[in-house]
Structures are given as C-alpha cells and as structure tokens.
Amino acid sequence: MPRRIRVLDRVTVNKIAAGEVVGSPSSVIKELVENSIDASATSITIYFDKGGIGRITVIDDGDGMSREDAEVAFIRHSTSKISTIEDLNKLSTLGFRGEALASISAVANVELLTREKGSPEENGTRIVVSAGRILTMEDAGCPEGTRITVTDLFENVPARKKFLRSVQAEKAACMDIFQRLMLVNPHTGFKMFIDGDDRLSGISSDDTRHRAAEVLGVKTAKGMIQLESGDVSGMRMTGLISLPWETRSNSGGITISVGGRVVKDRSMVEAIRRGYGSRLMKGRFPLAVIFVEMDGKDVDANVHPTKDIVKFSNEGAVLNSLESMVSRTLFSGKGRKLRRPTPAAETPEDNMGSGIYLMSKEDRTPIDRSPRQVPLMEDEVRPQDTTPGPWNEVPSIEGMDKLSPGLPTGPGRKRIRIIGQLDRSYILCEIGADLLLIDQHAAHERIRLEMLKKKHWNDKVIVQELLEPVQIELDGFSSENLRRMDQDLKDLGFKFETFGTDMITVRGLPRFLGRTEGHEVLRDMITGNEHHEGCSYPDESFRVELPIKERLIALTACRGAIKAHEGLSLKEMEDLIEDLLKCEIPLHCAHGRPTMVRLPLKVLEKWFKRVL
C-alpha cells in the first residue's frame, strides 16, 4: 500500500511556521522593530503603505550585521541572542527564537541592506530574498545600521492573504503596535510615515511621561499619575495610570511591558481594573503604561512564537502586586490632591459635577413656582412628528412652593439649589447656570458603601444566630458558586449547612448585616444576582471580580439604599446631597455608575436653537 504519512518539503514547512509569527502587517512591524531595539538602535524610522500590505520599511542606526551574519540571518532558528537552553532563564533581549526574518521572507519579498557598526569596510551588504530563497547577495553602499523592506506580503500564500482585513483596519493595527512600542521604549527615537506622510514621531528620552505626551497627547499625559512603585520579591513595577474619569470603552488604552516586551495579558488588565475598584464607570477602562521588570527565571517568554504572551512562575504575586500598587497610587496623597476639572463638554454624560455644595439661605432668590399653563405655538414649536412625548403638554412642577434651606458653604465651591424630583428617582438641582441631575439610589448607595467600609471593614467577625433558619434553593450555577465561595462566606460570618446539591439552610449571619435582609444578601451572592435598581458591575464581557468582602459590602449598600420611584421630602434630598458631598468618591456608586450628571446651560441653549 502507498505510504499516507509523508515529510513535508522545506518550503511548505517554512510557510506553515511563518503563520505562527507573521499573521498580519502589524506583526511584521513588531518583529522588525524589536530586532532594531535589540540591535541597540537609538533611532528607528518606519514607512508603510496600504496598511502595510503594499510595503513596510524599517530603518535603524543599530549595530548592523557583517555579510557572514546577514547571510545566515534568514535561516530559521539562527540567532545571536542565545546559544543554550539555559540562556532562556537570563534573557535580556526581545527576540531569541531566530524566526522573524525566516518567517517574513517565507511569505513575502524582503530586501536587507546592512552595515556593521565600526566596520572598516566602506560598503555594506544587500540581500534579496523571495519565498524563503536568497536571490541576490552583493556589496552595497549604505550607512551603519540596517534597512529592511518587505513587499508583496502573502502574495505567495493566497489562502492567508484573503484573511487580511481592510486597508484601514490593517493601518490601524500597524499604528497601534507602533505606538505601544514607542510607549515602552522611551529611550529610543521613532518616526512613522504612512503612505508617504509623516504621521508620528518621538525623540529619545528617559521620561515616560514625555513619551506618553507624544503618543497619547499632552493633556492626557499631564493628567496621568506616577504609579506608586516598589520592589516586591525581586520584581519592580513602574508606570503611569490615568485618573478614574479619563477612560476608554475598551482596554486599548492599557499598554503593559514585561522585561521590555509588549505583552497581551487579560489577567493583568483585570488586576489594573481591580485596583480602581468602584471608581471606574460601567464598561470603562483606564489608560495605563505599566513596566514590569523581574528576574528572567521567573517569567517565560517562550510561550508563543510572537512572544506577546508570557507566563509567570508566581502569577498570583504579580497580579496582587499590580492591583495593590494601582489602588495605593489612587489613594495616596498624590492621587487625592487631583480633582476632576469641570469640563466644557458638549454632551450631558461627559459632565459630572464635583466641588459643589448647597446654596445658603442668604443666596436664595424667591421664584414663583405655582403651576401655570403655558400655550404652545404649534407651527413654531411642536414638531411634525406625532410620536407621544413632552411636546403634547407642558407639565407643572408640584410641591416646589419652598426652596431648600441652606447648608454650610465652602470657599471656591459653586452654589447648588434643589429644584425637585424627576420621576421620584432623580434629584434636579441648579448649579451656577447649569442643571445637575443626581441619581438618588446611586448616591445613597455610595454613601452607605463608604459608611459600611469605615464601620465594619476591620471588624472582628461576629455571627448573629437566626431564631428560625432560612432555606435557600440552589440551581447548578448557584451550587458551583457556593462550592467556590463556601469557606470565604463562612469566614465572613455566614453559618449554613448544605443539603444535597440544591439547598442550604442558613442558621447565622454576620451581625452587621442585620436580620431583615441578611439571608437575601447571601442568596444574591450565591446566585450571582448582584444587580439591583439598574446597577451592574463593569462590562460583563470583562467582569472584574472584586474580593468577596468588598462584594458583600457593595451588595449590602445597594440593597439598603433608597430605591428609584421613592418620593423624598425636601429635607431628605438635602441630607442625601450633603452626605454624598462628604464621600471620598462621590461621583460613582459601588458598581461604577455615575451618581450625578451635569448638563451645561450652553447645551440647553443649543437644543433650543438659542445659539449655534
């Protein structure tokens, strides 16, 4: 019978292996720039056309190569970085596998022009490689350093080329990796040209903030704060993080470097977000540039051919250190002194108030708030759309015959006056010439969260026995949750017994929860039903798991808070706002939702076409 198993030829093997290293134009840029950095380049210039699909050129002033080294550089697993397996434990370079040039040249046309630094030779070496085969090798005049040009990427692998994204998408990916490489290598000068246009540059500097200003913008970089770094178990972390209100809708603003290597690590991103705790709004991500330096033996960069995934010998220690450093930075004196400036934004959701207080009695001006009928001029005001809405009538504001009594004022703070309640859920206030809306549930939840933390965070665990045990039914999901949290819940003071896999009997609760809702809090913890009154933890697709005690206190704060659609007296609204303004983090509830939104007068004027 004919043999069915065969050994593949070298060309096919190289093309298959190239797919592990070269998946897109951006991966080509990453590999070539890292080679330049390893060659001690102080200046790197990149040109790419058509999203890198047409051409990529990387020029550096690094060490360069002799003809002998240049000739073998295109052979797979040829490298100057390591010589034995033991060298993997003491890596000081970004590359070490010796696959980049071999992989790129297997799926593209490559021209290499290089001259070794300090060489007495006047000429350098030019090598042209196509589909893994050297076509030309000759002397050529060139400066010290290396210039590599890649063209016709994946032309000889049509099956790979058809999976490339659009030119715009590939261009964005190339820019993204270039900017990340810039951020983690501030000591190297960079220039980038896209389709012939000078798009981005950075001068060599030892100042991370200066490089962040070049990449992220001066205003953004200026607002970032230095990570409270330190040496922990032979590991050092440094970097910059944004304040909680400087966020993005995805993790694209977070750049992490481990040993100088840009890495993708979901767990580290989660650790950074955990460090922010409830300060982040739902679904938002901070900006951060994080540098992690540690002994080579404690980190494995040989997990994937692209080297953008690493494995730590003690991952838990790394993640805990990162989380605590972020949290410590935000709570430090450095972090506390920074306050969010009042932005001149155009949309209500971007304007959350800070530095406010209730208007004093002397500042109040009597306003006639008696209900009135205001005629509408149909042709001028009423829109042609017949959809039911606020145009059908002009509602009156009831119960506003009195204005709020004053509260103590402070220097430099803007005056605030309570107008009333909207839908018995939102407190409407006047602050200067702007409108401030306060979510009464979110506000009370924040107040209760900070009160519970201050009062009970360091309490000794005291179990309150129930006179009548409470039974809670479990489904499969809840049973798994309980199995995972069993000991943690008992350590917090919950006393319960398990009957089979679908029921528990609760006999005791932590005393600070009280008898009324304590078992309901436990039920929500076990079932994962921790969302109330529209609250939710940050983006479920990237959920941050808070420590169990913090989750318990947040849930307790939420359940006991004033609910939406609950009428409040004027005095209750005043007390709520006064207590909120005393909070350490008044702008967000325990789940990260905003407690208040500020609507500038100029936005209202635009809506009513008073200004253009």
Q: Is the pLDDT of residue 59 over 80?
A: yes
The radius of gyration computed from the CA coordinates of the chain, to the nearest angstrom, equals 31
Domain-embedded: residue 2: no
Rounded mean pLDDT of 107-119? Answer: 91
588 and 558 in a common domain: yes
The number of beta carbons lying within 10 Å of the beta carbon of residue 2 is: 4
286 and 178 in a common domain: no
Q: Is the pTM of this model over 0.75?
A: no
Domain boundary among 172, 202, 232: 202
| CATH code of the domain covering residue 360 | 3.30.1540.20
Q: Is the pLDDT of residue 254 over 90?
A: yes
Domain assignment of residue 74, given as a range: 10-202
Q: What confidence score (pLDDT) does residue 288 get?
A: 94
66 and 155 in a common domain: yes
2 or 83, which is more confident? 2
| Closest-CA residue to 253 (of 210, 208, 221) | 221
**Three-state secondary structure string covering 233-259:** CCEEEEEEECCCCCEECCHHHEEEEEC
| Closest-CA residue to 177 (of 44, 72, 297, 80) | 44
Domain-embedded: residue 386: no
Q: Which stretch, 56-65, 257-266, 471-480, 588-597, has highest mean pLDDT?
A: 56-65
Domain boundary among 202, 222, 249: 202
363 and 326 in a common domain: no
| Mean of pLDDT over the chain | 76
Q: What confidence score (pLDDT) does residue 606 get?
A: 87
* 476-491 and 518-527 helices, crossing angle to 10°: 130
Domain-embedded: residue 380: no
Q: Is the pLDDT of residue 43 over 90?
A: yes
| Residue range 369-398, pLDDT digits in tens | 333 333 333 333 333 333 333 322 222 223
Conformational region of residue 393, where left means phi above 0, alpha means psi within -120 to 50, and beta covers everything else: beta
Q: Is the pLDDT of residue 413 over 50?
A: no
245 and 110 in a common domain: no
| CATH code of the domain covering residue 193 | 3.30.565.10
Q: How far apart are the first and last CA of the chain?
A: 84
Rounded mean pLDDT of 167-177? Answer: 87
Confidence tier at 546 by pLDDT (50, 70, 90): low
| CATH code of the domain covering residue 212 | 3.30.230.10
189 and 213 in a common domain: no
Q: What confidence score (pLDDT) does residue 200 get?
A: 83
> Which stretch of 46-55, 327-336, 352-361, 442-451 has the lowest confidence by average pLDDT?
352-361
- Residue pair 130/10 in contact (Cβ under 8 Å)? The answer is no
503 and 435 in a common domain: yes
- Between CA 595 and CA 612 the distance in angstroms is 30
Tell me the H-state helices in 22-66.
25-38
Domain-embedded: residue 3: no
Domain-embedded: residue 159: yes
Domain-embedded: residue 50: yes
- Residue pair 592/284 in contact (Cβ under 8 Å)? The answer is yes
Tell me the H-state helices in 438-591.
440-456, 476-491, 518-527, 548-559, 570-581
- Residue pair 381/393 in contact (Cβ under 8 Å)? The answer is no
Rounded mean pLDDT of 494-523? Answer: 78
320 and 361 in a common domain: no
313 and 213 in a common domain: yes
| Closest-CA residue to 38 (of 120, 126, 101) | 101
Domain boundary among 202, 218, 250: 202
Domain-embedded: residue 379: no
Q: What confidence score (pLDDT) does residue 14 get?
A: 58
192 and 219 in a common domain: no
246 and 180 in a common domain: no
Number of domains in the chain: 3
130 and 48 in a common domain: yes
Give the three-state DSSP class for 261.
Answer: strand
| Closest-CA residue to 330 (of 289, 279, 284, 290) | 279
Domain-embedded: residue 388: no
Tell me the H-state helices in 128-265.
158-161, 167-184, 208-216, 218-223
19 or 602, which is more confident? 602
Q: In Å, what is the CA distance from 566 to each residue of 423, 439, 449, 578?
A: 9, 12, 20, 19
